[in-house]
Amino acid sequence: MTGKKPLRLGLLIAAQSACAAFFLLDVLRDGIELGWPPFTHWHFMVEALAAAALIAGVIFGTRILMEMLRREAHLEQQLGLAAGAFHDIVAQHFDTWGLTPSEQDVALLTLKGLAIPEIARMRGNAEGTVKAHLGAIYRKAGVSGRGAFLAYFIEELMEAAPAPS
């Protein structure tokens, strides 16, 4: 959820809570006016059930919102951990392969999915320079090309991922 969605849902729950309080007070007032036992009047029973359903909806909605916010926080934490782990794996392999700083930069941009012309433009290099860097990267990594280079890291992540429960 983005920042505004929980706020909007919170405002909606607050509005529903205010309505529920209004209807509950109305039902209680009607019950006092009708005298005891008010449960013998169908209009009172319909209003009482509607108020109870609204209160239950507010409680249920609040619980769901809180669970969603907890789940979102957990997923963001897990994503941060995974991103950090992936970065560590990449940095470790770049060091093991002995990539130069320029090769590391080109390799990272390649992992991000950028094409050779985009990498060249971003780095202010000629496309031939980027191709030369990629050739050196692939040779040092022991892979045959871009697809194998990307697959190498995908396999690394899949091996490190916990088995689904």
For residue 105, give the DSSP letter.
Answer: H
DSSP string of 34-91, one letter each residue = H-S-GGG-HHHHHHHHHHHHHHHHHHHHHHHHHHHHHHHHHHHHHHHHHHHHHHHHHH
CA distance 124 to 97: 25
Tens digits of residue pLDDT in 50-97: 888 988 988 988 898 888 888 888 888 877 767 777 788 888 889 999
Tens digits of residue pLDDT in 116-143: 999 999 999 999 999 999 999 999 999 9
pLDDT of res. 160: 60
For the chain, the average pLDDT equals 85
pLDDT confidence band for 16 (50 / 70 / 90): confident
Q: Are 148 and 81 in contact (CB under 8 A)?
A: no
Q: Which pairs with CB-CB distance under 8 Å and at least 24 residues apart come from 45-51? A: 47/23, 50/23, 51/20, 51/23, 51/24, 51/26, 51/27
Cα dihedral 140, 143, 149, 152 sign: negative
pLDDT of res. 140: 94
Closest CA to 148 of 161, 134, 162, 159: 134
Q: Are 61 and 16 in contact (CB under 8 A)?
A: yes
pLDDT of res. 104: 93
Task: Determine the number of helices (DSSP H) and then strands (DSSP E) in the chain.
Answer: 6, 0
